[in-house]
Amino acid sequence: MDPLYKIKNARLNGHLPDNICAKIVERFSIAVDGINRIERASGLHFPTAYVEPSAIISPASQFGYGVLFARTIPLFDTNQFGVVIQVSAPLLAYGLKGTIHAILAHEFLHYLELMHRIHRGEILSDEITGNLFEGAYLDQTRILEPAAVFSDRTLINHIKKRFATSFQEPRLEKKVVDLWINAGLPKTVIHLDNNRVNISAELLTKIRLPPDMADALGTMGAKSKKIRTRFKIY
């Protein structure tokens, strides 16, 4: 899968201007560096990722709408299960290197937590969250602790700085609003109320993790519990 396929297609169809597409393609190397960094720091493979050629926004009653820069998306049918990381084009166009790496790492933590729950045989049925503040709080309580996953101290600090409570990067958010959304470039609206995943027990029984990944997730899960207990997190 070409992670830039949808960007190239959007250019050919006239949905994105040439200069924006060129900028995204040029800066995609920052995302590649981030993925390589995450794999080195965790010892695990990053899932398939692709760039979505639109701004991802979600209505929020308190703020008007919120900008989502990446999402972890489970994909499954009757017999198969997989995960992809969706990265929004505005993140690559306007994000700083540290921000891009932090967001990719944060989504990787979502991916690991999902696989950890599957390995434990849990059926996911996420609570519906009606606003971004509540959604952000639940988001933080459902991922492994960065220090339990990554050996890269700078990467851990990037994550903690930008995800202290929820994602905070006012400069980036303003650029996306001013240079992308208000400029009439493509946007996709999702509703957090409907952003839930249910995986059947039958499908869960068919999913098998590689032994080295299962062992690593067990160790990371135990470390996360110790960190949260020690520092009384959540």
CA dist list (Å): 167 to 164, 170, 183: 7, 9, 24
pLDDT at 142: 61
For residues 59-65, give the mean pLDDT.
62
pLDDT per position as a tens digit, 71-104: 888 887 666 778 899 999 999 999 999 999 999 9
Helix, strand or coil for residue 166? Answer: coil
- Residue 108 contacts residue 70 (beta carbons within 8 Å): no
pLDDT surpasses 50 at 133: no
pLDDT per position as a tens digit, 101-120: 999 999 999 899 888 887 77
How do the domains of the chain map onto residue ranges?
A: 5-231
pLDDT at 113: 87
For residues 195-204, give the mean pLDDT.
64
Global pTM value: 0.87
